[in-house]
């Protein structure tokens, strides 16, 4: 029986002898590698925090002392040490463990965060609550790493934390020098210099040993130097960055020396106030293929071969098409530049960066800054393309609204992972963008249905010079191209039918709508299928098309509230077209993790489900019309 199998809760970790901890760490790493090799997930970040997490649970009393992780993808080891090792094989599987902290799973998981740079704000609030309730003998621990300190929200929190000397709060900076790829920016360089510094204490010791040998002047001179240690620290180590905020600082500590980390944490806990513990770790530590993986140290690999580290071949994806097309756009348009928020490879900008290294900007995990910086680039005569995951655009809404759109700047935002993404859980489903973007004046939004349309629409988006544009597409393999059979205004007609139903297919839902139309035909219901291509603003030709049909159905992989369906209904109302509109989309709730196909099936976004629901809607509509008062009036002689 392995040591890990005996760990049912953190108290079992405390009971272990120090000599048993290396074996526990090895077992944890073996389980991490074998599970992620099979299920996919975040491997590199968790391999790097094994000893750190063991030390956290030996020093603190979770859940009495809340331990919060930012970002949440580095919490796998925490799960293993809080009684979930036996379930770990279900990681990221339907009904199994989440890839992030989950309040439904364990009392040891306080927050369900997978958006970076949030934990210090949570920790600040929790610590203040403890003080106010008189529970200040507890300690809140916020673990921040994987580049999350490049986010401005973290520094807003630090500014507030530093103003309260009584907060029982320890901030663990897990410094591995990376987010997905090597962390970019001045803060990263600052911490990097700390990683390489011997520390001012060592220099003072050297000076003391040598000056002490000089009679009369040696000791006084040493005292003088020691008295100006603040200035010496400025020169020799940048830890003063934290101390200037008023925060006590411990470190840097070797994050893979469990004993050293444990000692540092105990020392920090003894201060009884806000303390920074700076821990140096290596992403992917303990698994050679992860350590030597230049791109992202196996940050979030697909299933892979443990012996070779080779990932299973990935199908050609939406991201691949965008990546290839951006390189072509860059060749044709010298004014096009690209911005990534610490996700160069995941968003498909690596090829652009290689081709045009002077035209790529990695701003770190700072989506707000990315959008406003893009506005500045546009004001300077360039056309920025900002590539982010759809769910992360939520964080930069104000900047897109006030800094980009208000100034009518030509900025193109490309949203990867739009719609249902599946395995990463509720916070990663990109189901909000088509709702929040509807309120932005002057913004154009495109939803390509396939790879060919993605190429077309990207070219059209960067040609817009009087305001911002957005392109959104889902995660995963490309569907087959669906060619148009005609045009209606600027919309593509994918299938012609009679006057029964007008199916408005939003982006990749075109394939589903075509399947539904075929099934409806078998029920004697004829459907016309159109793809708007640009879903904001909607083409006026849609009004004429709707007026010629008995029922309009909008299908979108976005939340049903405030999305394209609502925009279509509003367009028809404004045009006094009294045709009923039905919207089929994502229910307005947080979705549990599962495969995209499974989730789409569960929420009724398959061809068969749509055909059944539309058939029922047509039948109900017929009954309503038959009982309409106008039909009940008998003609007079």
Angle made by CA atoms 87, 90, 93, in degrees to the nearest 5? 150
Given 233, 395, 453, 582, which residue is catalytic? 395
> Is 495 assigned a catalytic role?
no
- Alpha-carbon distance of 290 to 558, in angstroms, equals 35
Q: Return binding residues for Mg(2+).
A: 146, 176
Pairing of strands 360-362, 412-416: unpaired
Sheet of 140-145: strand order equals 67-70, 140-145, 169-175, 275-280, 248-254
Half-sphere exposure of 467 (CA within 13 A, CB side): 14
Q: Return binding residues for thiamine diphosphate.
A: 73, 114-116, 147-148, 176, 287, 367
Pairing of strands 169-175, 140-145: parallel
337: left (phi over 0), alpha (psi -120 to 50) or beta: beta
> Is 29 assigned a catalytic role?
no
The total of other beta-carbon atoms located within 10 Å of residue 220's CB is 10
- Alpha-carbon distance of 269 to 170, in angstroms, equals 7
CB proximity list for 584: less than 8 A, separation 6 or greater: 553, 554, 555, 556, 560, 565, 604, 605, 610, 613
> Is 550 assigned a catalytic role?
no
Given 283, 449, 536, 582, which residue is catalytic? 283
* Alpha helix ranges (H) inside 523-576: 541-547, 564-574
The total of other beta-carbon atoms located within 10 Å of residue 137's CB is 10
Q: Return binding residues.
A: 73, 114-116, 146-148, 176, 287, 367
- Classify residue 134 by its DSSP letter: T
Given 51, 258, 262, 367, which residue is catalytic? 367
The separation between CA 258 and the C-alpha centre of its own chain, rounded to angstroms, equals 30
Q: Hey, which residues are catalytic here?
A: 283, 367, 395
């Amino acid at each position: 029986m392995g040591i890990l199998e005996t760990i049912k809760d953190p108290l079992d970790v405390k009971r272990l002898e120090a000599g048993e901890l290396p074996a526990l760490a090895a077992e944890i790493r073996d389980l991490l590698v074998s599970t992620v090799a099979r299920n996919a997930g975040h491997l590199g970040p968790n391999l790097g925090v094994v000893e750190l997490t063991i030390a956290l649970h030996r020093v603190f009393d979770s859940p009495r002392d809340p331990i919060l992780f930012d970002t949440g993808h580095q919490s796998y080891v925490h799960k293993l040490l809080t009684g979930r090792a036996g379930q770990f094989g279900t990681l990221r599987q339907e009904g199994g463990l989440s890839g992030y902290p989950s309040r439904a799973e364990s009392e040891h998981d306080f927050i369900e965060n997978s958006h970076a740079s949030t934990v210090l704000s949570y920790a600040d609030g929790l610590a203040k609550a403890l003080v106010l309730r008189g529970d200040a003998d507890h300690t809140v621990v916020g673990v921040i790493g994987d580049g999350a300190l490049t986010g401005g929200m973290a520094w807003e929190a630090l500014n507030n934390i530093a103003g309260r000397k009584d907060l029982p709060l320890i901030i663990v900076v897990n410094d591995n020098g990376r987010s997905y790829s090597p962390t970019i920016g001045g803060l990263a360089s600052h911490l990097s210099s700390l990683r390489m510094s011997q520390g001012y204490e060592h220099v003072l010791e050297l000076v003391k040993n040598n000056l002490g040998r000089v009679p009369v002047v040696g000791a006084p001179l040493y005292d003088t130097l020691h008295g100006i240690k603040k200035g010496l620290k400025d020169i020799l180590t940048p830890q003063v960055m934290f101390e200037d905020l008023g925060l006590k600082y411990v470190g840097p500590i070797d994050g893979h020396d469990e004993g050293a980390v444990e000692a540092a944490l105990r020392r920090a806990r003894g201060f009884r106030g806000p303390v920074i513990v700076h821990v140096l770790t290596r992403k992917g530590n303990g698994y050679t293929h992860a350590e030597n993986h230049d791109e992202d140290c196996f940050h979030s690999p697909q299933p892979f071969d443990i012996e070779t580290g080779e990932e299973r071949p990935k199908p050609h994806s939406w991201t691949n098409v965008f990546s290839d097309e951006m390189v072509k756009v860059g060749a044709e348009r010298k004014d096009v530049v690209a911005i990534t928020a610490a996700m160069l490879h995941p968003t498909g900008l690596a090829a652009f960066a290689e081709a045009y290294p002077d035209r790529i900007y990695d701003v770190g995990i700072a989506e707000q800054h990315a959008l406003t910086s893009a506005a500045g680039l546009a004001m300077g005569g360039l056309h920025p393309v900002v590539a982010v995951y759809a769910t992360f655009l939520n964080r930069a809404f104000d900047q897109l609204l006030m800094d980009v759109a208000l100034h009518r700047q030509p900025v193109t935002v490309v949203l990867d992972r739009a719609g249902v993404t599946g395995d990463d859980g509720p916070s990663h489903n990109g189901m909000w963008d088509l709702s929040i973007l509807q309120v932005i004046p002057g913004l154009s939004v495109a939803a390509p249905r396939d790879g060919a349309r993605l190429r077309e629409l990207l070219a059209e988006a960067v040609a817009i010079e009087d305001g911002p544009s957005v392109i959104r597409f889902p995660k995963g393999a490309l569907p087959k191209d669906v060619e148009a059979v005609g045009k209606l205004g600027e919309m593509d007609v994918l299938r012609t039918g009679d006057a029964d139903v007008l199916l408005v297919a939003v982006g990749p839902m075109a394939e589903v709508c075509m399947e539904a139309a075929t099934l409806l035909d078998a029920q004697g219901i004829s459907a016309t299928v159109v793809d708007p291509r640009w879903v904001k603003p909607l083409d006026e030709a849609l009004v004429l098309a709707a007026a010629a049909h008995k029922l309009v159905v909008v299908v979108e992989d976005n939340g049903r509230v405030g999305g394209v369906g609502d925009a279509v209904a509003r367009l028809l109302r404004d045009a006094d077209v009294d045709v009923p509109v039905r919207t089929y989309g994502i229910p307005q709730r947080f979705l549990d993790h599962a495969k995209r196909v499974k989730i789409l099936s569960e929420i009724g976004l398959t061809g068969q489900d749509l055909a059944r629901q539309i058939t029922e809607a047509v039948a109900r509509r017929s009954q309503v019309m038959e009982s309409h008062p106008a039909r009940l009036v008998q003609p007079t002689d």
